[in-house]
Amino acid sequence: MLFLNGKFIKRSFLAARRAQFLIECLADLKKNLVKRGLNLLIQHGKPEEILPSLVKAYGAHTVYAQKETCSEELNVERLVNKRLQQLLPQLGNGVSRNQSSTQVTRLELIWGSTMYHMDDLPFECSCLPDVYTQFRKVFNSLLNLILLFGAASKCHHFLVRHLPLEIGDVFLQLMNLDFSKKRQASKGMMFVGGESAALSRVHEYFWQKARDFFLVFDLLRRYKDTRNGMLGPDYSTKFSPWLASGSLSPRFIRDEVRRYEKERQSNDSTYWILFELMWRDYFRFLSIKYGNSLFHPGGLRKKVQSWGQDQTMFETWRDGCTGYPLIDANMKELSTTGFMSNRGRQLHKDVIFLQIVCSFLVRDMRIDWRMGAEWFETCLLDYDPCSNYGNWTYGAGNSICNTLH
């Protein structure tokens, strides 16, 4: 089940492009669910208002959802749980359910989206190292302990005959978006949403595609050497939009890396794929430790700084009109494709260069870093609150790591 909130996508060309990717993700998810005897229900509105009515209608005793870590999502979890608890006096009147009328409907939250489970941590999140390198050293020894469980081949069907319309029709009706502008072809990569496209990309990048007409080799073999490129579809994995949408599991990537190491070779590139996935995990765990500080002007350090919010200057940066070709090219790629290279963002520092577009906005223009983070949130197909805001606090000099460096 998916809930669409009016805040989720703004009505603009960017919205239509992001929505197209999401529609493709949902259509592919629905197809895969139907194969297993399930289906997908899309609702427009607040989960805390819609879920209780569905629970009453179908006599559900448990609601399952993925556990989140940031404030807006945590607030939704609290509201849903509160409303489910309030259902108790209303149950049992003409509703058939296989449970006692005194049993409260449970909200079961399941951890997901990371390579490591929270239970893998050898410490509480409150004791998470403030430096990524320390975190990485702790977990290097655990990489071989991660297990990946496959999906069930067949499940008991639920609501299969009671779902409305096709995915795209539902989305268009609910969000009133304009798809009149077709996606433009580009020299980069055209992202197609969904698990099928994600698995195809993993297979292509790890096992199939060669970078050079004369030299036949897979792309993974040279990932560490090419990952900071900016041009073309194959300098990096481009897995991030599928990871962010839940179409691709980081544990599946990890298993494919290990299979590659057994069947072909283990080198710096295979390790570096896992290195980047560990960064992603780290920011999610960091969001648990520091909570809303991630979104505050002073960041994790609670550092008091005077930031400007000149809208004209910001729009110059946003629209790629600064007059600096490298900055402008990256910003135009972002607004056109919903993607920007790691080197363009360079929001975590594993090379000697400072962050490019982030550094320019906060260090040269002295503009509030949160305006940049919010623009990235608007544009990125691979938007994730933990990684986006965690990286921007670092770029603004407000991360705990900045103090230690």
Tens digits of residue pLDDT in 136-152: 888 777 666 555 666 66
**pLDDT grade, residue 250 (50/70/90)?**
very high
Phi, psi (degrees; rounded to nearest 5) at 2: -125, 135
Of the two residues 315 and 341, the one the predictor is more confident about is 315
Of the two residues 158 and 38, the one the predictor is more confident about is 38
Annotated domain spans of the chain: 296-404
Eight-class DSSP state of 222: G
The confidence score (pLDDT) of residue 150 equals 63
Between CA 200 and CA 247 the distance in angstroms is 12
The confidence score (pLDDT) of residue 216 equals 58
The confidence score (pLDDT) of residue 300 equals 79
Closest CA to 167 of 37, 43, 36: 43
The verdict on whether residue 8 carries a ligand-binding annotation is: no
Over 60: is that where the pLDDT of 282 sits?
Answer: yes
**pLDDT grade, residue 243 (50/70/90)?**
very high
**pLDDT grade, residue 8 (50/70/90)?**
low
Q: Tens of pLDDT along 165-215? A: 455 555 555 555 555 555 554 566 889 999 999 999 999 999 987 655 555
Cβ neighbours, 10 Å, residue 248: 21
Phi, psi (degrees; rounded to nearest 5) at 108: -100, 110
Q: Could you identify the residue written with the tokens 């509703």? A: 95
Give the chain's mean pLDDT: 81
Between CA 82 and CA 339 the distance in angstroms is 38
Between CA 151 and CA 90 the distance in angstroms is 35
Q: Tens of pLDDT along 287-314? A: 999 999 989 888 777 877 788 999 999 9
The confidence score (pLDDT) of residue 351 equals 35
b/e 364-391 (16+ beta carbons within 10 angstroms → b): ebebbbbbbbebbebbbbbbbbbbbbbb
The confidence score (pLDDT) of residue 152 equals 60
Between CA 285 and CA 166 the distance in angstroms is 37
The verdict on whether residue 404 carries a ligand-binding annotation is: no
**pLDDT grade, residue 394 (50/70/90)?**
confident
Over 80: is that where the pLDDT of 159 sits?
Answer: no
The verdict on whether residue 281 carries a ligand-binding annotation is: yes
Eight-class DSSP state of 116: S
Q: Which residues contact 55 (CB under 8 A, 6 or more apart)?
A: 63, 84, 87, 105
The verdict on whether residue 283 carries a ligand-binding annotation is: yes
The confidence score (pLDDT) of residue 350 equals 39
Closest CA to 257 of 248, 247, 266: 266
Closest CA to 51 of 63, 39, 40: 63
The confidence score (pLDDT) of residue 212 equals 54
The verdict on whether residue 236 carries a ligand-binding annotation is: yes
Answer yes or no: are the C-beta atoms of 229 and 235 closer than 8 Å.
yes
The confidence score (pLDDT) of residue 92 equals 46
The confidence score (pLDDT) of residue 397 equals 76
CATH superfamily of 296-404: DNA Cyclobutane Dipyrimidine Photolyase, subunit A, domain 3 (1.10.579.10)
The verdict on whether residue 237 carries a ligand-binding annotation is: yes
The verdict on whether residue 278 carries a ligand-binding annotation is: yes
Orientation of helix 13-35 relative to helix 167-175, angle to 10°:
140
The confidence score (pLDDT) of residue 301 equals 74
The confidence score (pLDDT) of residue 213 equals 53
The verdict on whether residue 53 carries a ligand-binding annotation is: no
Over 70: is that where the pLDDT of 78 sits?
Answer: yes
The verdict on whether residue 77 carries a ligand-binding annotation is: no
The verdict on whether residue 384 carries a ligand-binding annotation is: yes
The verdict on whether residue 279 carries a ligand-binding annotation is: yes
